[in-house]
Structure 1
Amino acid sequence: MTNDLMLGGLYLLMAMMLVLGSLMSRREPWAKLVKVALMWVTIFGAGFILFTFRDNLGFVAQRIKSEALGTPVVEGRTVRIPMAIDGHFWVDATINGVPAKFLVDSGATVTTVGNALAVEARLDRVEARDQLVRTGNGIVKVSSARADTIEVGSIERRNQRVYVADNDDLNVVGMSFLSSLTRWGVEGRWLILEP
């Protein structure tokens, strides 16, 4: 990047010399010459910035898209999930290859899915719906099941225990998934997941 910076600076200096040389040869009032010179400096400065940081512009575009749509940003093996407008972290994930929207909730002990998603993902229920769990919305009856795979961005976990609830809009990535990660945490308006 240092070579790019030096090369970009050299281009900018050469452009400024050409512009100032051509402006000096004209017989215009100084105010107009200064105005035109500043315009050209701005144009070449913008070109310099774009040239120097061209490798990072892809990340900026990806970050803007993720902020607008709520999709995770994958940087190598790290997954960055933007905070939604409601203050929660929502992510498009898959369970047994079936995509669904999940709330990432560190207060949930076990990853939980709604009954409709469990049927679509063909989750084998281990037990009858006789367990009671306390949620933010009260006590819910659930049954245990096993998911072959749960994927959040580029992170995949196999043979995960999940709960299945009657409530079809209850899809939560809980601590059973989060605790399997090397690191996870909130940094500003982003939830960072590292496998």
Structure 2
Amino acid sequence: MSGDEIARAIYLGLLLLFLLGVFGLGGRASLRGLRDMLLWAMIFLMAILAYSQRETLRDNLFPATTRFEGGAIELRRQADGHFYAALKVNGAPVTFMIDTGATRIVLSRPDAEAAGIDVAGLDYLARAQTANGLARLAPVRLRRISLGETGVSNVKANVSAGGLGISLLGMDFLDRFSKIEIEGDRMRLVP
């Protein structure tokens, strides 16, 4: 059984106990103490279950969480196995997927528009092979891109003609860091 299946089985068992306690024992005054005990056991077990699933809950409630500590930037691996970071591009907030296999920064069309780039006036002449197939790209220069204290002006990037669901942060930006460490579900970018 996987962790999700175990959690689901525990949840269904607790739900059954709760329903039995409330509906099965609710009408019998002599068993009120037993019902109260089952209710407290249910509350206690739900708290344990929530605590054991805290990483999953946190990742789902706060995606793309970025922590800044001592000048370094720490990112958490998300449920899909990728690292994401919220950056500012020309002052506009953009969520990027960290892509150490990409050379350049690639903006999705909607993110490029949000950053003030006239996507209709671009020439999508460049081509790149991606995991999703061939992509048409247009070269652009970003006025400024920043992640926390680390920012760069006049940066080469590309805008995707379409089909890119999320912007990609490639090595052009990541090379600004002296060290990139991945340990477990954490990525640390050290200036």
Distance 2:159 2:173 in 1: 15
The question of 1:122 aligning with 2:116 is answered: yes
The question of 1:109 aligning with 2:103 is answered: yes
- TM-score under structure 2 normalisation? 0.62
Q: Is the 8 A contact 2:95 2:166 kept in 1?
A: no
Match of 2:173 in 1: 177
Between 68-77 and 170-179, report the one with greater CA deviation. 68-77
Q: CA deviation at 1:68?
A: 5.2
The question of 1:80 aligning with 2:68 is answered: no
Question: Aligned-residue CA RMSD in angstroms?
Answer: 2.4
Residue type of the alignment partner of 1:174: G
The question of 1:191 aligning with 2:169 is answered: no
Q: CA deviation at 1:116?
A: 2.1
Q: Is the 8 A contact 2:144 2:153 kept in 1?
A: yes
- TM-score under structure 1 normalisation? 0.61
The question of 1:134 aligning with 2:129 is answered: yes
Q: CA deviation at 1:194?
A: 1.5
Match of 2:85 in 1: 91
Q: CA deviation at 1:160?
A: 1.2
Residue type of the alignment partner of 2:73: V
Match of 1:38 in 2: none
SS at structure 2 position matched to 1:140: strand
The question of 1:157 aligning with 2:152 is answered: yes
- Show CA shifts across 1:111-139 (max 9, x none): 10012221221237896210001111111
Distance 2:180 2:103 in 1: 15
> How many residues end up aligned between the 2 structures?
132
Residue type of the alignment partner of 2:149: S
Q: CA deviation at 1:179?
A: 1.3
Runs (4 or more) in structure 1 with deviation over 4 Å come to 64-68, 124-127
Percent identity of the aligned residues?
Answer: 26
Distance 2:118 2:142 in 1: 8
Q: Is the 8 A contact 2:87 2:96 kept in 1?
A: yes
Residues 3-18 of structure 1 aligned to structure 2 (within 5 Å): none
Match of 1:43 in 2: none
